[in-house]
Structure 1
Amino acid sequence: MTIQYETIPSENSECCRELCNELMVFQKSKAQIRQELFDSMNFETRMIPSIKSALHNHIVVVKDGEKPVGYVYSNISPKETYANDFATFFDLSSVRKHDVGCLSQFYLREEYRKSGIGSRLFEMSMTWLHQFDDVEDYFIFVSNGNSDALEFYKRKGFVFSHEILDGFITVLRNK
């Protein structure tokens, strides 16, 4: 294994297409509530719109040699971005400042899990998010059924906030 971490500009997000689509299939396989919602979720409907609506984007791809095996996508966005036709992800009045940070997508192929790679990607994401002095609130949205991810983020200091869409998504925040 020759593991490399590469921060890429959002214009090069196409290299995450396959991994993002795998993430959606993985989330659907874990889901116990409203699996059908994942049918329309993919790189084009999730990552691209998120990149376009964010103020700042951060993508780190992890490769084994030249082969991408995982990624983390984080962003800084106006808090109003998280109240849309799909859902209202958190009580906007609970966020004092205009912008929020979000670890938006995180995926690592199964054979690379539990080796420290995920922790390194998480730390790279948090380091980037915390450089924005005007952001106090950080969110992570975990799809239902993904208890491993939920516990991972809790071990990293995030706490349960609430559920949305009748339990389809668990919202975690930094405080």
Structure 2
Amino acid sequence: MQLTFEVISENKLEVCKDLCNELMTFQKSVAHIRPEIFDNMRYETRLVPSVKNAIHNYIVVVKDGVTPIAYMYSNISSKESHSNEFATFFDLDSVKNKNVGNLAQFFIKKEYRQYGIGSKLFSMSMDWLNQFNDVEDYFIYVSNGNENALEFYKRKGFAVSHEILDGFITVLRR
């Protein structure tokens, strides 16, 4: 195993396409609340619009040799962007600043889990998010059924804030 962690620019986002689609397939496979919502979620409908709508983006791809095996996407976005036709993700009045930090997407191929990749990606994300002095609120959204991710983020200092869409997503906050 020869792992490299590469920060990529938005114009190289396509390298995340297959991993993002695997994430959506995985989320549907473990969901017990409305898994059909994932039918329309893929790279073009989730990752691309999120990157385009964010104020700042941070994308890290992990490769084993030349093969992408994991990615993490974090962003800084306006708090108003978290209320849309899909859902209102948190009480906008509970955030005093105009922008929030998000660890928005995180995926590691199954055979590469338990090697510390997740902890390293998480640390990279938090280091990046913490450099924005005007951001005090950080969110992570975990789809229902993904208990391993939920417990991972709780061990890293995030707390469950609430659920949205009748339990479809658990909102964690720090």
Q: TM-score range by the shorter chain?
A: over 0.9
SS at match of 1:88: coil
How far, CA to CA, are the matches of 1:27 and 1:129 in structure 2? 25
Unpaired stretches in structure 1, ≥5 consecutive residues = none
Deviations, residues 70-121 of structure 1 (Å, cap 9, x unaligned):
0000000000000000000000000000000000000000011011011000
1:4 corresponding residue in structure 2: 4
Secondary structure in 2 matching 1:115:
coil
Match of 1:113 in 2: 113
Tell me what 1:142 maps to: 142
Q: What residue identity is the alignment partner of 2:63?
A: K
Runs of 4+ in 1 over 4 A off after TM superposition: none
Counterpart for residue 14 of structure 1: 14
- Show the 5 A alignment for 1:5-44: 5-44=5-44
Q: Aligned with 2:137: secondary structure?
A: strand
| Partner in structure 1 of residue 89 of structure 2 | 89
Give TM-score scaled by structure 1 length. Answer: 0.99
| CA RMSD, 1 decimal | 0.3
Gaps of 5+ in 2: none
- Matched residues in 1 for 2:25 and 2:131: separation? 32
Matched-pair identity in %: 65
1:53 aligns with 2:26: no
Q: Distance in 2 between matches of 1:136 and 1:31?
A: 30
- Tell me which amino acid in the other structure corresponds to 2:132: F
Shift of 1:10: 1.2
Q: CA deviation at 1:11?
A: 1.4
Deviation, 1:25, is 0.1
Q: Write the distance in 1 (CA, Å) between the matches of 2:29 and 2:96.
A: 36
Q: Which residue of 1 aligns with 2:78?
A: 78
Write out aligned runs for 1:122-161 (5 A).
Answer: 122-161=122-161
Q: What code does the residue aligned with 2:15 have?
A: C
Correspondence for 2:67:
67
Q: Which residue of 2 aligns with 1:99?
A: 99
Which whole-Å CA distance do the structure 2 matches of 1:154 and 1:93 have between them?
Answer: 24
Report SS of the residue matched to 2:68. strand
Q: What is the SS of the residue equivalent to 1:170?
A: strand
Which amino acid in structure 2 is aligned with residue 63 of structure 1? K
Name the TM-score, length of structure 2 as normaliser.
Answer: 1.00
Please give the secondary structure, in 2, of the residue aligned with 1:105: strand
